Chains A and B, each alone.
Chain A
């Protein structure tokens, strides 16, 4: 660790991992509710479990992105963080808001939560992924503003690099597009259009900048390849991400009441969205092949290569599967979407945060470069357990989706939703089993932090 203040990232990463564990527990609960509908009812109904599962994911990824920025920006800027105290204060505010919100979800009915948090004054609740109460949203904005102020001041007083600029672009974009969660027009079509400005322009737009910048940072550190080469790759990747991703938003506008031309725009541009992810895969493998040093933190390199491959598969290939309008006509809102969502989020954003944690955490915990061989071996086990389980979750959901589309939407006698859900039950059972494997992988991951031993050498 080059600068003392980088260590403010540590509580962010610890909170991220803790919330990640919570997310997976609720994932397992709702996975079971797919087949045993009244499991834990009425304490935790399906809609609540789903809300907690998705919201925790978003919140812990935000913790991970902020932690990554707090670690990365001072090192890139070659100066201490502008205000470590502010970073710690914001951490506690954010954590308190997140925990209170989840308690609110679980303790009272959603409508009551909306009422007591004053949703009537500025209604923003009730929309998928953005379910959090309005006051929590305001809290997120305050935390984001303080965070942006802190990292921008740091960059301003220090060295400006392409990596830190792209990181800041990504984080600013994240904050700006979140503001659309406060816009809640009466017209349902307009509502959906702007809702996607948060959801899509995050994951298929500005978050890709954050991902690219973290990946570039970790690759510079672990491979020792020249900064100029890495930056050139980074520029091309983010250019492609924005060229394809912004107009690619159109693939969400197919059947929601928007004009037909969105079918052409959405299909063509989103069909190109795999390209930046493919470039990221080429980038990661090329840099590791051209490496000028053997970094002792092998597992961080494994995560970096893993995220590049899994992001391409999950976001790129599984996204392409159902992005063309004529295909999406059948697949829209089926388990194909769930399959894509799982592997894309895991491959692109979970794994990039874990890459950063894997690289930086040993340094923040006082090691010279890496964890012990033993700890790394345990972490590699967790990598493979989680990644392989996620591949299986995705394959089972894809199987469920294909069967669902065939039974429910094609042929002469399409069957009703609930009848079809019964018929594809076997896939849900298999998915749940893969989910349990994933959870074991996650516990292994947590365990790896407590494995001792002599530090690994290159």
Chain B
């Protein structure tokens, strides 16, 4: 027997989901062009990957996943009308996001000190384009999370739609990294 899909209401605003779909399409296109270039030049991409730090990448992954966890917790606390816990969770998420920024910048510094830049070869063109573009999204996401966190500290702030929309956006940023990380660092 076929069960009909249960009607779970969409978290956040439909407009945000349109934006998320658009963002994911941009990243998908970037991943496809990356895949094609890699196919054309496997050795160059392999050599480039050797210069990256998988441990730094793993730490970033942990930081971003933790951030997403705290964001999700914050939404739960909000719905249980525990604004203080919701705000605290959100600040923890922001902290995790900042950890990501620190590690990522350390990575960039390492590479730049070795003289590796955007125009070194096509692997690093992709590496920088993809990760910097992703980092811009993290920075934007952190700005949005900060806005929510500040509002959550006001006891009577009841804007579940905004909270869920911004949280969904953050999860999208996280999801993109989960594809980006193996693609750039791990898959040989």
Contacts and interface: CB of A to CB of B under 8 A. Distances in A.
B119 A261 contact: yes
A298 B46 CA distance: 62
B51 interface: no
A239 B18 CA distance: 11
B29 to A, nearest CB: 5
B29 A272 contact: yes
B26 A259 contact: no
Interface stretch (B57-65, B122-130, B155-163, B177-185): B122-130
A235 B119 contact: no
A433 interface: no
18 contacts: A236-B15, A236-B19, A239-B19, A259-B119, A260-B122, A261-B125, A261-B129, A264-B125, A264-B126, A264-B129, A265-B129, A267-B33, A268-B29, A268-B30, A269-B26, A271-B29, A272-B22, A272-B26
B150 interface: no
Interface in A260-297: 260-261, 264-265, 267-269, 271-272, 275
Dominant SS at the A interface? Answer: helix
A261 B29 contact: no
Contact of A240 (B22, B29, B119, B122): B22
A240 B126 CA distance: 23
Nearest to A275: B22
Interface in A97-144: none
Interface in B112-146: 118-119, 122, 125-126, 129
B105 interface: no
B119 A260 contact: yes
Nearest to A276: B22
Interface in A189-246: 232, 235-236, 239-240, 243
Interface of A: 232, 235-236, 239-240, 243, 259-261, 264-265, 267-269, 271-272, 275
Contacts of B19: 236, 239
Contacts of A236: 15, 18-19
A251 B40 CA distance: 22
Contacts of B119: 259-261
B25 interface: yes
Contacts of B15: 232, 235-236
Nearest to A235: B15
Interface of B: 15, 18-19, 22, 25-26, 29-30, 33, 118-119, 122, 125-126, 129
A78 B33 CA distance: 50
Dominant SS at the B interface? Answer: helix
Contacts of B26: 243, 268-269, 272
Report which residue of B15, B19, B26, B30 has the largest number of chain A beta carbons within 10 angstroms of its beta carbon. Answer: B26
B171 to A, nearest CB: 19
B187 to A, nearest CB: 19
Given A236-B15, A260-B122, A275-B22, 12 more contacts: A236-B19, A239-B19, A240-B22, A243-B26, A260-B119, A264-B126, A264-B129, A265-B129, A267-B33, A271-B29, A272-B25, A272-B26
Nearest to B130: A264
Nearest to B37: A264
A240 B15 CA distance: 11
A261 B33 CA distance: 12
A266 to B, nearest CB: 11
B45 to A, nearest CB: 14
Nearest to A325: B33
B78 to A, nearest CB: 24
A239 B119 CA distance: 30
B37 to A, nearest CB: 8
Contacts of A243: 22, 26
Contacts of A232: 15
Q: Which 6 A-B pairs have the closest CB atoms?
A: A268-B29, A261-B125, A268-B30, A259-B119, A236-B15, A236-B18
A227 to B, nearest CB: 16
A70 B129 CA distance: 43
A264 B119 CA distance: 12
B80 to A, nearest CB: 30
Contacts of A235: 15
Contacts of A260: 119, 122, 125
Contacts of A240: 22
Report which residue of A235, A259, A268 has the largest number of chain B beta carbons within 10 angstroms of its beta carbon. Answer: A268
B33 A268 contact: yes
B134 to A, nearest CB: 13
A264 B30 contact: yes
Nearest to A326: B36
Contacts of B125: 260-261, 264
A245 to B, nearest CB: 13
B76 to A, nearest CB: 28
B179 to A, nearest CB: 15
A261 B118 contact: yes
Contact of A259 (B22, B30, B118): B118
B22 A264 contact: no
Contacts of A271: 29
Contacts of A269: 26
